[in-house]
Amino acid sequence: MRTTIVFETYWRFAAERHAAYLRRLRGEPAPWSQDPILLAHRFTNAFRAADRVSQYLIANVQYGQHRSQAPDEVFFRTLLFKLFNKVTTWKLLEERLGPLSWQSTDLAAVQKVLSNAFARGTRLYSAAYIMPAPGFGAPRKHSNHLALLNQMMRDGAPGKIASAKSLSDVFELLLSYPGVGPFLAFQYTIDLNYSSILPFDEDAFVVAGPGALDGISKCFEDTGGRSPEEMIHWMTDNQEREFLHRGIAFPGLFGRRLQPIDCQNLFCEISKYARVAHPAVLGVSNRTRIKQRYKASCEPLARPCFPPKWGLSVPLAAAPRPASLFE
């Protein structure tokens, strides 16, 4: 393999972005980093499960108080939330319809609430990634997505997924549905694996999305013939050595190391970061700007919630503040 300067920045970025998360979690005042690019632009956390939307999914949608853990119910709630991937959309539905469940929620009523909100100019979908409309013939995208969810439920998808033998099997099942391409199928696979219906380790399977492909092309002049997925696994397997080689103390997520989904996401984020930090390294997308600007929030972070099967011990107060790599 032949690496570039962006490969060096990948590890420093991962450490500094995670350090900023830990500083904010401890309640330290902003700014949580001295890196001017991090201060100006929006980036996801180093660990996907620590991101705001993933935290809401885990704590409130999947494992919330009085939420049924029956496979049908967990699958229904998870997919209904993730089809829109927007916390305010979920809150709107529960405000109007009460606790959402497959047994008691009428999808026609869900469609009516969403259609009324859309008519008022309410944005229903997150801008995090593109959500193509499946072809069910409805005039609005949200109606087609509800039709997709209804078909999944009628097909017995929850039971099939709960009995799957691997993350790859879950991915292939989701991929078989209209409007669900490889990127979304992998994202939904990881989201479902946070829940109680799947028991798999996250290191078992990964799919490189478009952003990760661009990040890989910026980090490596030559991958030695390895596939993008093999490169993500290489980063995962060698992270301790790479951090140590650069003198970086990386604590992980309360002891949990970066998983393939996290290294995949970090390739996406370094693709964006390098547009400013290393503009001469164009990658395969040839994009030159970071669209989303960062605006610091004064709201303290709630104590994070992670899948119980991970067995993480989240302290009320974290260790002493890690030194910024960009100071």
| Residue 157 buriedness (CB in 10 A; 0-12 / 13-18 / 19+) | buried
Query: What average pLDDT does range 52-75 have in this prediction?
Result: 95
Q: Write down the pLDDT at residue 317.
A: 54
Domain boundary at 126, 160, 189, which? 189
* Cα gap 148→167, rounded to integer Å: 21
Is 198 a domain residue? no
* Torsion angles phi and psi, residue 251, rounded to 5: -80, -15
Number of domains in the chain: 2
Task: Verify that 161 and 118 share a domain, yes or no.
Answer: yes
Q: Write down the pLDDT at residue 319.
A: 40
Task: Verify that 29 and 93 share a domain, yes or no.
Answer: no
Is 253 a domain residue? yes
pLDDT beyond 60 at 312:
yes
Task: Verify that 74 and 13 share a domain, yes or no.
Answer: no
pLDDT beyond 60 at 324:
no
Is 164 a domain residue? yes
Domain boundary at 163, 189, 215, which? 189
Is 194 a domain residue? no
Task: Verify that 275 and 184 share a domain, yes or no.
Answer: no
Cβ proximity of 304 and 48 under 8 Å: no
Q: Write down the pLDDT at residue 298.
A: 64
Task: Verify that 80 and 185 share a domain, yes or no.
Answer: yes
Task: Verify that 80 and 131 share a domain, yes or no.
Answer: yes
Task: Verify that 45 and 129 share a domain, yes or no.
Answer: no
Is 321 a domain residue? no
* Cα gap 211→208, rounded to integer Å: 8
- Confidence band for 325, pLDDT divided at 50, 70 and 90: very low
Per-residue model confidence as pLDDT tens digits over 129-140: 788 889 999 999
Per-residue model confidence as pLDDT tens digits over 104-128: 999 999 999 999 999 999 999 998 8
* Cα gap 208→121, rounded to integer Å: 34
Question: What do you get for the CA distance between the two ends of the chain, in Å?
Answer: 31
Task: Verify that 7 and 94 share a domain, yes or no.
Answer: no
Is 56 a domain residue? no
* 297 Ramachandran zone, left/alpha/beta (phi>0; psi -120 to 50): beta
Q: Write down the pLDDT at residue 286.
A: 75
Task: Verify that 291 and 224 share a domain, yes or no.
Answer: yes
Pure H helices in 167-295: 167-175, 182-194, 210-219, 228-237, 239-245, 260-277
- Confidence band for 300, pLDDT divided at 50, 70 and 90: confident
Q: Write down the pLDDT at residue 316.
A: 65
Is 200 a domain residue? no
Task: Verify that 283 and 210 share a domain, yes or no.
Answer: yes
Per-residue model confidence as pLDDT tens digits over 220-272: 999 999 999 999 999 999 999 999 999 999 999 999 999 999 999 999 999 99
pLDDT beyond 80 at 291:
no
Task: Verify that 296 and 214 share a domain, yes or no.
Answer: yes
% of the chain surpassing 90 pLDDT = 83
- Confidence band for 103, pLDDT divided at 50, 70 and 90: very high
Cβ proximity of 191 and 126 under 8 Å: no
Task: Verify that 156 and 264 share a domain, yes or no.
Answer: no
Is 325 a domain residue? no
Task: Give the domain range for residue 178.
Answer: 70-189
Per-residue model confidence as pLDDT tens digits over 155-211: 999 999 999 999 999 999 999 999 999 999 999 999 999 999 999 999 989 999 999
For the chain, give the mean pLDDT.
93
Domain boundary at 125, 155, 189, which? 189
Could you give the C-alpha distances from 163 to 79, 97, 169, 199, 251, in angstroms and in order? Answer: 17, 31, 10, 10, 34
